Chain A
Amino acid sequence: MNIIVLIKQVPDLVEELELDSSGKDLDREWLKYKVNEFDDHALEEALLLKEEHGGTVTAMALDGQDIDKALYAAAAKGADRVVKITGLEGNPSNHEAAKAFANAISGMDYQAVFTGVQSVEDRDGQLPVLVAHYLGIPHVSVVSGVKIEGDKAVVYKEYGGGMMAELEVDLPAVLGIQAARETPRYVPVARVRRAMRSTEMEEVSAGDVSGAAAGSEVARMFKPETGQGAEMLEGSAEEVADKIVSILKEKGIV
């Protein structure tokens, strides 16, 4: 069972988001990046399956901001290979990124591709389904939990209200992972440093991604109007607590 896990660096939303001078993108100069939280789950699920069934886990990403660190962290957690796709300039659309991944993956020996279910900046659609369609293999999104039974995977797809569908999928397939069965493992920085020295970073060219444009363009970005917004309660913890108590009393809640 060889599993390829796609990993993406996304802006850390704890930081303030500012626009650049074009007004069409974030000002990325000071932006802090972190691994998409769902990718940690995708990697965890892949590592759990490797522990159960053997095989390899390959972490793959497009070249870009802070990506080496993220790939080495995956290696430290147990990924056997780390692969960086090079040659896509600027901010590729998700269609282009998906085509580049499909180009790189199609020649490899693999049974499954795991991605995070979505990220905070996939304007032209979620990547797992795009990759699957470029590869011509089946896909399931919003997956929490995967079991392997021979050349098939049994997956749990989440709907609303805590409802789940159990689906059986022929491998190879692409799965958009929402949550792993276990909380994603943590590795200390020292282990990541060791992985940096002992792991070879492979580079693969993105290949031809023409014909995979998003088909739309960003006209502008803007912060959502805050509607009426909340009435902000100012003061110390004691003062704010008093204000909340009087609001609750006034509304007859306490």
Chain B
Amino acid sequence: MKVLVVAEHLNGKLEDITFEMLGKAKELGTAEVALLGHNAKDLAAQLGKADSVIYMDSPELAEFNPDTYSKGLKAIVEARQPDIVLVGNTSMGMDLAAALSVDMGMPLVAYAIDVAADKVVSSLYGGKMNVESAVSTPFIASVLAGSFPADAGRGEGSPAVEEMAAPDFGSVKVRFKQLIEPEGGDVDITQQPILVSVGRGIQSEDNLPMAEELANKLGGAVSASRPIIDNKWLPKTRQVGKSGLKVKPKLYLTLGISGAPEHIEGMKDADLIIAVNTDLKAPIFDYAHYGTTVDLFDLVPALTEKL
């Protein structure tokens, strides 16, 4: 089984998802990593677990670009004819996997949490349902972050690095302008030992002070799931998850968060997770150490009172 892992890197750093997929690829067969970039060959030295690395260099690949990266990846897949292509189900990977599927006429299974030669398991419906797809090679799977241990994909070694010329990109329709770093917020939630994290279950901005008060009593801060940030009730710097921050506090207490995979990605390594959610079937309870279905509007005042 020839498995091609599409490396993901940002700001000169390989993302964890690369190692997570590489570990899985080694389990499935021979693992080749597709590394696209500009003056990024050095990154191959960190891919010790790979059997080989195929490196494509071009100024057009200096930063992630949905247009040029799709064209470059297509050229690599045409040349190497892998049985399985593993792409991250990430912001970058979303722009690559489906494009490759149409370009190569290869089936794609997304949101993969497990991959074998003849089947892929996807986590769908916000983590509430797993779907097993029957597939045959060659196919593409886009892998959810955190599905496989990254450590299994890290290791010493010096894989053979083969350079492949970039294809003619033709007329390039997307241009990279700049990377925008998040603005510094009032509180750095990655440094807080205790987080009270609010989700859509909090219902209204007017109810936030209740969570603030509880966080104060506990000596921590308030963080949140994405909808709270999209509603502009809290700044982006308070967002936990895939497009927010990864946190690992001593206590992560959730109030009205369902536990969608994009949220879980940011907090599953917290030492102690306590979830408050009225829906007994909420996926957050699969990750929490303790849980309760008591209404948060009853529990929070009672808990604040007792602390």
Contacts and interface: CB of A to CB of B under 8 A. Distances in A.
**Do the two chains belong together in a single complex?**
yes
Interface of A: 11, 13-14, 16-17, 26, 37, 41, 95, 117-118, 120-127, 129-130, 132-134, 137-142, 154, 156-170, 173, 176, 178-179, 183, 214-224, 226-227, 229-238, 240-242, 244-245, 247-248, 251, 253-254
Interface string B82-95: 00000000111011
Given A124-B108, A162-B237, A224-B123, A241 B133 contact: no
B211 interface: no
Q: Main secondary structure on chain B at its contact with chain A?
A: mixed
A129 B91 contact: no
Contacts of A217: 133-134
A253 B179 contact: no
Q: For the side of the interface on B, what is the size category?
A: 35 or more
B134 A232 contact: no
Contacts of A242: 306
Contact of B91 (A95, A134, A141, A233): A141
Contacts of B97: 125, 129
Contacts of A218: 131-134
Contact of A123 (B64, B124, B173, B281): B124
Interface in B242-293: 242-246, 250-251, 258, 272-275, 279-281, 283, 285-293
Given A95-B101, A166-B178, A223-B130, A230 B289 contact: yes
Contacts of A230: 273, 275, 285-291
B129 A223 contact: yes
Contact of A17 (B15, B129, B178, B194): B129
Contacts of B169: none
Given A130-B98, A138-B67, A251-B272, A219 B291 contact: no
A92 to B, nearest CB: 15
Nearest to A25: B131
26 contacts: A117-B94, A118-B94, A120-B126, A123-B111, A129-B66, A130-B102, A133-B102, A137-B173, A142-B95, A159-B10, A162-B236, A163-B179, A164-B180, A217-B133, A221-B130, A222-B129, A223-B130, A230-B273, A230-B285, A232-B293, A233-B290, A234-B292, A237-B302, A240-B294, A241-B299, A254-B218
Contact of B274 (A134, A170, A238, A247): A247
A17 B230 contact: no
Contacts of A17: 125, 128-129, 281
Given A140-B66, A142-B243, A176 B173 contact: no
Instruction: Please indicate which of the listed interface residues A122, A154, A232 has the most CB atoms of chain B within 10 Å of its own CB.
Output: A232
Given A138-B173, A168-B175, A231-B289, A245 B307 contact: yes
A216 B107 contact: yes
Given A13-B126, A217-B133, A220-B132, A167 B109 contact: no
B99 interface: yes
Contacts of A226: 285-286
Contacts of B218: 248, 253-254
B246 to A, nearest CB: 7
B243 A160 contact: yes
B176 A167 contact: yes
Contacts of A170: 173-174
A122 B110 contact: yes
4 closest Cβ pairs, A-B complex: A215-B107, A162-B182, A230-B291, A129-B98
A237 B294 contact: yes
B139 A215 contact: yes
Contact of B243 (A125, A126, A162, A245): A162
A247 B292 CA distance: 13
> Of B99, B108, B127, B303, which is in contact with the most chain A CB atoms at under 10 Å from its CB?
B108
A123 B144 CA distance: 12
A167 B174 contact: yes
B47 interface: no
Nearest to B109: A216
A13 B125 contact: yes
Task: Give the interface centre of A95, A122, A160, A236 by most chain B CB atoms within 10 Å.
Answer: A160
A232 B174 contact: no
B291 A163 contact: no
Interface in B218-247: 218-219, 227, 230-232, 236-237, 239, 242-246
B173 A219 contact: no
B118 to A, nearest CB: 9
